[in-house]
Amino acid sequence: MAKTKSLLYGFAIGTIITGATALLSAPKSGKDVRQDIKNGAAKLKGSVSKMKQNSITLKEKVMFISKEGKDAFKQASADLKKDISHWKEGVQPNMEHIQEGVKEIQGTIEETKSTVAK
């Protein structure tokens, strides 16, 4: 935030100095120069006001997007946990069936070993 303020102050000061130099070095009457300075100051004020409003709008949008992203991440995380839980519930009977099959195969292997060893 400090960098942004420094940049804006530098921009404003540079604009003022450049405008003043251009106005004072131009071959015009004092009345015309004063009017040009007033016009330039009004334009600068309008530009600074517009930049300020744009920065406020940008800040609000960034905060909104950040909040939306955070909420979306929380929702996605909850959905993922729920899906994993359902997957585990669906897989559990199959895991038990596979484990029983593995035990049967191990038993058959042991029987085969003892038959071959005789």
The domain limits of the chain are: 2-117
d(C-alpha 11, C-alpha 50), whole Å: 14
Q: Which two tokens stand for residue 15?
A: 């604009």
Count of residues in the chain: 118
Confidence bin at 118 (pLDDT 50/70/90)? low
Q: Which two tokens stand for residue 106?
A: 């191990």
pLDDT tens digits for 13-67? 888 888 777 767 767 777 887 888 788 888 888 888 898 899 999 999 999 999 9
pLDDT for 53 equals 92
pLDDT for 80 equals 93
DSSP letter for each residue of 38-80: HHHHHHHHHHHHHHHHHHHHHHHHHHHHHHHHHHHHHHHHHHH
Q: Which two tokens stand for residue 9?
A: 């102050």
Q: What mean pLDDT is reported for the chain?
A: 85
